[in-house]
Chain A
């Protein structure tokens, strides 16, 4: 009697859903282990790296005429560059300079792809310095991968501490130097270590640039080029079929496969690529160049160096991966001289010429005329029409100068205030000026006039500025 009543489950059986793992759309960065490689392009980069770094670290210590070679005096609103002093009024030159830099970049890019990125970009340069330090402390690529996988022990911790200390030291030197272009570096270094700052801004910026260098070159590395750099985004626009880019020659390489050194690839039905993966291991952005040109490629040519080494070992000709153009890969003729490169080149020459003209024809004198608000004109007791202005005369030379003011535009126009005045070096002298004229000489109610300020000791130092002279309707 203890038999169970048979039960039957009559619940609707759940429909079998395929297993689906939910993963956030947001991916972690995969660490790239760059294999160190030697070769001709790596040597070129090392040379450019040394040149740029020595410029960066030495220029701020060099002085001429008691002034730093490059010194951006932000509070004083003056830029000292190579013995020349630039004022805010010269900012148009800065914009020209930036346009030149942009066009230089376009020009180079249209010819040789992202050569700037691969050899001279600060992001690349500091990343390579940091990678060199990493290699020295943690060892080769395989050792580094192993070390990261290994459990934390004393020797691993020690290595990591040493590595990050070196990184921070390099970053600190970078930050200190950077601020040294905005604050006299000799004082800065002394002040920094004696905690002798007025306010904490210099400290803040030094630490800011230290942190930025450490994070960018130590942790972010290729992420900057992949996700942040605007140039990386629009450089493909400048590419065409004649642009020299790092490229794998699939006609020669495919089908890829490993083989003995002694084997004849033709008989095995293989191309020249031995599929050793070296080009992937050395790539700082972690791509496989054999998939063709990708936006991640910074044109650093490490894969060329790596592949050439392997080709040497296999006794194959070099250049399976090389700087070449799309046209030459297709067996067509590539053109260095083409409308695009000629256009960019001419624009570049034109703008360089204009900047050289702009810099050499600069006069160390500025003049701004501000016409009085309020009354448009006055009539003097003598019945003359009088207008008032405030002149701002800026002496940009390094000695006090005496200037002479004149005005032209209407017959018989005369200045009734002082016309001879002295302006100290670097001073913005404000000169209230009244000019008057007989209304009989005014042919209209609104005349264009021109103020001229000339230095008494050097007639070539002169500045002009236009203004207006207003009068009553003729009566």
Chain B
């Protein structure tokens, strides 16, 4: 805030307070008595006259008290332009203080959870309730509140994992994030439209949806040169790279022919943000247990 605007605010704020004070004193008027009189203000409504009798004194003092309160508030808190106030209060301070209080209150609970392994924690109903709430607040916006994902966001309740469904892999994914990258046209930038159609037919053949057998055989050959490096020669994917299994019927970016074509032609880039610095490791630990529990028995 420039010093001009700071001064501008200070003048208006203090001016209002002192304006109230001045008004209070300026409207005291000369009377010949300080008791109830028959003097009127000159207002009449429907023949009812407004008397002009003195206010109770304690009201007057209460008014003064509010003025002093206002001045004290201006002195203690930041209100006058860029003046920071005696207490040094800021909203950031207050937020940090409240976070500290919350950590002091809930810290022991998370510390107790942190001592257990993810596998054990995934059988602890109390931890799962906490995990479910953490999930609703931090993950559900992309993965859905039932963790079933949607277009571009993986389903976390099935047994199909891009980076592995072990407790450690899940914890790694949540804590450190993932950057999935499917390059456009794979390793073959010279891929033509008809090549893409062939590839698509090859992939649809896994779920018996291929329309043209010859085309899907051409696609199989193309797959080995352009795609197999990541997705594997058998197209079963690669957990180390996060390359999806293309032989099952789980499609992160849609399994219709047109969507598969789009994925091949333009590539895909999926980002799972790292949550260790956002939530802290203890909460990530509890979340991992919750996610781990969702896919058990699937």
A residues lining the B interface (CB < 8 Å): 20-29, 223, 227, 370, 372-375, 378-379, 381, 386, 388-390, 417, 430, 432-434
Is B30 touching A381 in the complex (CB atoms < 8 A)?
Answer: no
Known: A378-B148, A388-B146. A29 touches B56 (CB 8 A): yes
Q: How far is the CA of A388 from the CA of B32 in the complex (A)?
A: 77
- Interface members, chain B 247-276 (any A CB < 8 Å): 249-251, 254-255
Min Cβ gap A419→B in Å is 13
Is A26 touching B136 in the complex (CB atoms < 8 A)?
Answer: no
B12 at the interface (CB under 8 A from A): no
Is A25 touching B146 in the complex (CB atoms < 8 A)?
Answer: no
Q: How far is the CA of A23 from the CA of B56 in the complex (A)?
A: 13
Residues of A within 8 A of B28 (CB): 24-26
Residues of A within 8 A of B254 (CB): 379
Of the candidate stretches B82-90, B137-145, B165-173, B226-234, the one touching chain A is B137-145
B145 in complex: contacting residue of A23, A24, A372, CB < 8 Å:
A372
Is B144 touching A388 in the complex (CB atoms < 8 A)?
Answer: yes
Residues of B within 8 A of A27 (CB): 34-35, 53-57
B60 at the interface (CB under 8 A from A): yes
Min Cβ gap B133→A in Å is 7
Is A372 touching B54 in the complex (CB atoms < 8 A)?
Answer: no
B59 at the interface (CB under 8 A from A): yes
Is B150 touching A378 in the complex (CB atoms < 8 A)?
Answer: yes
B55 in complex: contacting residue of A20, A26, A381, CB < 8 Å:
A26
B150 in complex: contacting residue of A28, A227, A374, CB < 8 Å:
A374
Consensus secondary structure, chain B interface: loop
For B255, the closest partner residue in chain A by CB is: A381
Is B148 touching A388 in the complex (CB atoms < 8 A)?
Answer: yes
For B149, the closest partner residue in chain A by CB is: A378
Residues of A within 8 A of B140 (CB): 372, 374, 390, 432
B31 at the interface (CB under 8 A from A): yes
Min Cβ gap A475→B in Å is 10
Min Cβ gap A113→B in Å is 20
Q: How far is the CA of A302 from the CA of B250 in the complex (A)?
A: 87
Known: A26-B56, A223-B56, A388-B146. A378 touches B249 (CB 8 A): no
For B254, the closest partner residue in chain A by CB is: A379
Beyond known contacts A21-B32, A378-B144: 6 more, CB 8 A cutoff: A20-B30, A25-B55, A223-B56, A374-B144, A378-B148, A430-B133
18 inter-chain pairs at a CB distance below 8 angstroms, sorted by A residue, are A20-B32, A21-B32, A24-B60, A28-B57, A29-B57, A223-B58, A370-B145, A372-B144, A374-B140, A374-B141, A375-B151, A378-B148, A379-B151, A381-B249, A389-B145, A430-B132, A432-B146, A434-B144
Is B151 touching A433 in the complex (CB atoms < 8 A)?
Answer: no
Residues of A within 8 A of B133 (CB): 430
Is B31 touching A375 in the complex (CB atoms < 8 A)?
Answer: no
For A28, the closest partner residue in chain B by CB is: B57
Is B146 touching A433 in the complex (CB atoms < 8 A)?
Answer: yes
| 3 closest residue pairs by CB, A with B | A27-B54, A375-B150, A26-B60
B208 at the interface (CB under 8 A from A): no
* B200-239 Cβ-contact flags toward A at 8 Å (1 or 0): 0000000000000000000000000000000000000000
Q: How far is the CA of A67 from the CA of B28 in the complex (A)?
A: 56
Is A432 touching B56 in the complex (CB atoms < 8 A)?
Answer: no
B148 in complex: contacting residue of A23, A26, A373, A386, CB < 8 Å:
A386
Is A375 touching B144 in the complex (CB atoms < 8 A)?
Answer: yes
Residues of B within 8 A of A227 (CB): 56, 59
Is B145 touching A432 in the complex (CB atoms < 8 A)?
Answer: yes
Q: How far is the CA of A20 from the CA of B30 in the complex (A)?
A: 8
Known: A27-B55, A374-B141. A434 touches B146 (CB 8 A): yes
Residues of B within 8 A of A23 (CB): 30-34
